[in-house]
Amino acid sequence: MRVTDTYVCIDLETTGLDAKRDKIIEIGAVKVENNTITGKWKSFVNPGRKLDEKIVELTGIRNEQLADAPKIGEVLPEFLEFAGEQVLLGHGVLFDFSFLKRAAVNERMTFERQGIDTLKIARKYLQELESRSLGSLCRHYGISHSAHRALEDAAATAALYGKLVENFYDREAQEGNKSLFMPKPLIYQAKRDTPLTIPQKEQLYKLVDKHKLIIDYEIESLTRSEASRKIDQLLAAYGR
């Protein structure tokens, strides 16, 4: 079994943890070829909603930085061109893949990849550590790391992978195709979100105008299910 030394390491910042409801706000990617970083790519993404204070505090990303950022429909093709068909590496890579896959499906694009998860490797071989978070592992190995920014996290994960290969690859290679260092298909089922209907849009604008509301999301960016929840919330709070 040959070690995977060519891949694209990815990391996302998002509005939350649920790929079905939350949105991408930043993508960072590092291209590695023959164990050497050959390219870096990053972009903010306008999520069409205001960020919760806890996300601002966690990431340091502010609403004004996203106000003029491109929407995911503009960003995704650029990311896919950068990433090509390479194996994806990530710390909890399926989380990042799920957001990207859902975004791709909504843009009527195909996105299927194989991946390697540094978190799974760390959970197997570094059980003595109190935490296997990216930050904790970087401290453990003395890797420079600025947490919760996409490109910095991606670069740190690539460095972490190098340490894990150095320390555990030979032991893990005995597992053959079951090895955690062997790329595996990333599986996430996503259905395309249905845009909000014209009646929903009209009702939302009417409610906002009637009650003189200041909302923290873009009505035009809502999906049908999101619009339904917003309407129910406004009706419950303000009536018709």
Sign of CA dihedral 164, 97, 176, 121: positive
Question: Catalytic residue at 145?
Answer: no
Burial of 117: CB neighbours in 10 Å, binned 0-12, 13-18, 19+: buried
| The amino acid at 10 | I
Question: Tokens 């991606």 belong to which residue?
Answer: 154
- How far is the C-alpha of 144 from the C-alpha of 154, rounded, in Å? 12
Q: Which of 91, 140, 145, 148 is catalytic?
A: 148
Q: In sequence order, which residues have a C-beta less than 8 Å from that of residue 5 and are 6 or more positions away? A: 32, 33, 34, 35
Structure token pair of residue 96: 């990042």
CB atoms within 10 A of CB 220: 11
> Would you say 86 and 46 are in contact if contact means Cβ atoms under 8 Å apart?
no
Q: Residue 231 in contact with residue 203, Cβ under 8 Å?
A: yes
Sign of CA pseudo-dihedral 113, 118, 123, 125? positive
Q: Which residues are catalytic, by number? A: 148
